[in-house]
Amino acid sequence: MNVFDNGIALESAGDRRLRGRTVPEWANMVGPFGGITAATMVRAIELQPDVLGLPVAVTVNYLAPIVDGAFDVDARVVRTNRSNQHWTVELAQDGDVKATATAVFGVRRDSWSDTEPAPPPAPAPEDVPLRPGFLDVTWLQNYDVRFVDGAAPVPGDGESESSTTTLWVRGNPPWPLDFASLTAVCDIFYPRVFLRRGGFVPAGTISFTVYFHADEAQLAEQGDDYLLGTARAQRFSAGHFDQSAQIWGRAGTLLATTHQMVYFKG
């Protein structure tokens, strides 16, 4: 079992409930990495015997910090239609709900398709130097991150007029891409307020959404290769900001788009 699968491992606890446990390799500044929590909730639905199709969209709301130890995940199907299925998920510790999610799964079919945006210009990941330790959090050791633009600021960088970061990323060591790991990598970007203000600012995601554009064949084609991601914020106000991101495959296929709302202080 690779470090990612170990981080989202779940076992049956009866009546649709699944039980998992935080692992130290995915620790963040407070609780586990939000991406691993979201991925765990996606996996909880995938493990249900009556799940229909593949992930289409998921929104995770982070209610309270998850403490080290066991947690329960309760996935409940709300409605099943001919081509899509709607779910609600709760993650709780000792009866205290720490995160909730809504998700849509669906049957993918052949149709007309087009992609309007283009991947951002970037050299090959092998030509981009690795910048280890750009943030002092444990979970980042599980990723090989190579910044093309908008690296996390270091002392002396000063404020930036742009909130855009573009980077290459894959597992460290690499693991094959699936829908759960794609969910997690959508949260790879440090808070955009860090870049704008030129340093660390207390901040945390409160709501995180992923729209899945990839199918199983495209995930298999990607394998464990580098993903190209780009993220930017739209507005900072009243202690909150939103950030949007795109995740592209090495071959230029748009695999997922993601949006989140983040609170910050200062």
pLDDT digits (tens, 9 = 90+) for 217-262: 999 999 999 999 999 999 999 999 999 999 999 999 999 999 999 9
Greatest C-alpha distance within the chain: 57
Q: What is the pLDDT of residue 29?
A: 87
- pTM of the predicted model as reported, rounded to 2 decimal places: 0.96
Phi/psi zone of residue 36: left (φ > 0), alpha (ψ -120 to 50 degrees), beta? alpha
pLDDT interval class at 85 (50, 70, 90): very high
Mean pLDDT to the nearest integer, 202-216: 97
Q: Which contiguous run of DSSP H or E holds residue 263?
A: strand 254-264
pLDDT per residue over 118-172, tens digit each?
A: 999 999 999 999 876 566 789 999 999 999 999 999 888 899 999 999 999 999 9
Q: Round to whole Å and give the CA distance between 14 and 104.
A: 23
